[in-house]
């Protein structure tokens, strides 16, 4: 049985992402907990690294 943890950024709204750490790592929407995205711990670490770097870099210009 996995322990799911909710994002602290969601507050009491109930609109949040949940994560279950382990191998593999599970990510789901708290409003639809039946659908789970499973990723390797390495992929999870890479995603967190990429997201944390977004706040430190200026936004890119969109092409279109």
Q: Look up residue 16 and give its DSSP letter.
A: -
pTM over 0.75: no
pLDDT at 30: 85
Instruction: Summarize pLDDT for 18-57 with one digit per residue, the tens.
Output: 999 999 999 999 888 889 999 999 999 999 888 887 665 5
Q: Give 11 or 2, the one with higher predicted confidence.
A: 2
Q: Domain containing 22: what range?
A: 5-52
Contacts of 15 (CB under 8 A, 6+ apart): 30, 31
> Considering the domain boundaries, does residue 37 fall inside one?
yes
pLDDT at 52: 82
Domain count, the chain: 1
**CA–CA gap between residue 56 and residue 23 (Å, rounded):** 29
> Considering the domain boundaries, does residue 38 fall inside one?
yes
- What's the Rg (C-alpha) of the chain? 14
């Amino acid at each position: 049985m996995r322990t799911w943890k909710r994002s602290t950024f969601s507050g009491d709204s109930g609109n949040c992402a949940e994560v279950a750490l382990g191998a593999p790592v599970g990510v789901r929407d708290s409003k639809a907990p039946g659908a789970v995205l499973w990723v390797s711990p390495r992929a999870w670490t890479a995603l967190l690294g990429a997201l944390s770097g977004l706040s430190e870099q200026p936004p890119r210009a969109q092409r279109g």
